[in-house]
Amino acid sequence: MKQLKHAFAIALVAAAQLSLSNSADAQFSSKPEAVAPYAATLTVVVDAMLKLADVGPDDFVVDLGSGDGRIVIAAATRFKARRGLGVDIEPNLVKFSSDSAAQAGVADRVKFREEDLFKTDVSEATVVTVYLLPRAMPPLEQKLLAELKPGTRVVVQDYPFPTWRAERVVELKTPDKETSVGLPYAQLYLYKVPARK
């Protein structure tokens, strides 16, 4: 019953978020903004995502749909990741993120690019983080499976991949999130890229 309620709540949130995009019938190639309206991830969720991925000094963290850059910057500052890349299609957010990285003293290790996330080369990443709408997950799953090395960790917030089996699922109580997206919790899914057959 809890899973059914969660699925229904996610459907409602997804519908609400889609209404924020420029066009509900936008396609990935022509209107990539439809897959990720800006929604800041709470600090407690950022930390939980990076802990779930076991981010450390050997990692190159890529955040697809990086918004204000907080996940990549946290990976570099608090988790000591060696490199970070954030990708977003909104130029103002990319500039804000770059400025924030400079202020945090990690601009030498963290970069942000204005780019369609489906065109981003993720092959060198050791960790990928994702918070996108459900419609983005099937093509993104195929992209990541094709490009990432076996063993690469992927952490997804709220909307899981359609066929990829999660290694772990963590649910966090996040009362503050209810104000922004209507859910008092976040679900985090950890995936590891399987060996190629």
pLDDT tens digits, 33-51: 455 556 677 788 899 999 9
Q: What is the mean pLDDT of residues 182-187?
A: 74
pLDDT at site 73:
97
pLDDT at site 36:
57
If you classify domain 2-192 with CATH, what class do you get? alpha beta
Please indicate whether residue 111 or residue 180 has the higher confidence score (pLDDT).
Answer: 111
Percent helix / strand / coil, the chain, rounded to 5: 40, 20, 40
pLDDT at site 130:
95
Q: Is the pLDDT of residue 2 over 50?
A: no
pLDDT at site 14:
38
d(CA 15, CA 117): 21
List pLDDT tens digits, range 104-146: 999 999 999 999 999 999 999 999 999 998 999 999 999 999 9
**Residue of 44, 113, 96, 38 lying closest to 74 (CA atoms):** 44
Backbone angles phi, psi at 144, to 5 degrees: -65, -40
pLDDT at site 43:
86
pLDDT at site 99:
97
DSSP 82-123: SEEEEEES-HHHHHHHHHHHHHTT-TTTEEEEE--GGG---T
Q: Is the pLDDT of residue 7 over 90?
A: no
**Mean pLDDT, all residues of the chain:** 82
List pLDDT tens digits, range 84-105: 999 999 999 999 999 999 999 9
pLDDT at site 9:
41
d(CA 97, CA 100): 5
Domain range list for the chain: 2-192
Q: Is the pLDDT of residue 28 over 60?
A: no
Whether residue 127 contacts residue 57, with contact meaning beta carbons closer than 8 Å, is answered with no
Give percent above pLDDT 70 in the chain: 74
